[in-house]
A = this chain, B = another copy of it.
Amino acid sequence: MPNKPEPCILCIFGATGDLAHRKILPALFEMSNAGELPEQTIILGIGRNKNKSDIAFRHDVLESIQKSGASDVDAITTWCEARIFYQGIAKGTQDEFKKLRAKIVNLEKKRTLKGNRIFHLAIPPVGFGPTVKSLGGAGLNASDGWTRLVIEKPFGRDYKSALELNNLITQFFTEDQIYRIDHYLGKETVQNILAFRFGNALFESVWNREKIEKVEIVVAESLGIESRADYYEKSGALRDMVQNHLTQLLTLAAMEIPLAFKAEDLRFEKVKVLRSISPIRAEDVILGQYTEGELGGNGVRGYRQEDGVRSDSKTPTFVALKMRVENWRWHGVPFYLTTGKRLKEQKSEIIITFRVPPVALFKSSDGREAHSNVLIIALQPNEGFRISFQVKKPGSEIAVQSEWMHFSYNEAFGPMPDAYYTLLRDVMLGDQSLFVSADETLASWKLYTPVLNAHRSLHNYPAGSWGPKEAEALKG
């Protein structure tokens, strides 16, 4: 694998959208500043507006990059002028895609590019199928260099639709051209789960059913649905968070040791985990929806009162699941997945609870018989690790007390690169390690589709709480 990306043209569908301006374009500017974007590489924004000029788009990009924190207007201006171009595609006709192709070929000629192309679909999911078809129709699925397709989540909305989408895409693109983004995999701390597990013999040697009592994966959001009612009403917490982000964390925490740290080996092990999971039982699913409540001292609306949400909406904003990974390593160890909106705090954590000592030699200062060691891998906020352990309480009485040891990723390394920086760079390098394979996506949907289809009761929880109390009973 090359260490520095080859020059290419990066075509962003949805170039006038939020994701492009908040994440993708600032990441590219950063990459350029870090000397990781070859000089010839250019960015072609593609949007619905046919009347937008290169100059108008550059102006939008400049503003977005300024908003992201960069302050040197001259430098941004120079960058935009050298790198940024625009092409309108209003209806997605064959003709429009031919024009797109002409523009690409033309730009490549000017820059003496060898035909390396990335098509990044930063558009609503409904557009994935048609866009891929049109790209294929215009012959843009292959070139003299490499051609890569980047697809944002969600990849389908259940097993059937994911399979259909995949079948459609693979008519034009092979699996090694497809980069399915789960931006969680671009986070340093998520990648660090593997480094932590397989770089530390101390921890890997206790990473199994003999030593671990349970594994909890929590992604709690204090935010509501913001202005995304339209998307969220059709999606809900299971599609929005569990099928992708939480499941990725689960596979990284549970997977066997891969042959090497390479895409194919990682994907192989992740799929194995997914296929080891028993069908999720009805009693192991708790769905919830937030009602009016209080967060940070402010009253907030209930989900059904949000703009654009139906007043009788059945969309879950909270999911708690108990899962069983039925393999030699994990048999009997429950995995609990929990996510929700409008919860008390914003945090993403993997919580590994080790088994208590078989014999309690010491009294605990809080009167309990024995305490577990707990390892928390925190993804946000305060990325890092902490381990709880028992120490002797000073004084004559021989009693122990729980204390914590901390490691903060930020304190040790300073600010971390944004996930999109990491992921876009990997696309350019052709490294699929941090992208989701078709097999993974489909195995994941296979697991959750029965849950989506089944009728489950919806438990209310007040905004600002930790979710419905029924979820706690799951862990009972």
Contact = CB atoms under 8 A, between A and B. Distances in A.
A403 B412 contact: yes
A390 interface: yes
Interface string A190-209: 01101110111111111000
A475 to B, nearest CB: 20
Interface string A374-410: 0100000000010101111111101010011111010
B195 A391 contact: yes
A243 B378 CA distance: 45
A interface: dominant SS: mixed
A152 B390 CA distance: 32
Interface in A402-428: 403-407, 409, 412-413, 416-417, 422, 425-426
Copies in the assembly, this chain: 2
Nearest to A212: B202
A362 B261 contact: yes
A174 to B, nearest CB: 24
Most chain-B CB neighbours within 10 Å: which of A210, A361, A404, A416?
Answer: A361
A281 interface: no
The 4 A-B residue pairs with the shortest CB-CB distance, nearest first, are A199-B390, A195-B392, A202-B373, A192-B392
Given A202-B354, A203-B389, A396-B426, 7 more contacts: A188-B392, A192-B392, A199-B371, A199-B389, A202-B375, A393-B413, A405-B405
A429 B357 CA distance: 29
B396 A403 contact: no
Interface in A325-380: 354-359, 361-362, 370-373, 375
A67 interface: no
A198 B394 CA distance: 16
22 contacts: A188-B394, A191-B398, A195-B390, A195-B400, A199-B361, A199-B390, A199-B392, A199-B400, A200-B373, A201-B355, A201-B356, A202-B389, A203-B373, A204-B357, A261-B361, A385-B389, A387-B387, A394-B416, A394-B417, A396-B429, A403-B407, A405-B405
Contacts of A260: 361
A211 interface: yes
Most chain-B CB neighbours within 10 Å: which of A188, A199, A393?
Answer: A199
A391 B199 CA distance: 8
A407 B406 CA distance: 8
B195 A201 contact: no
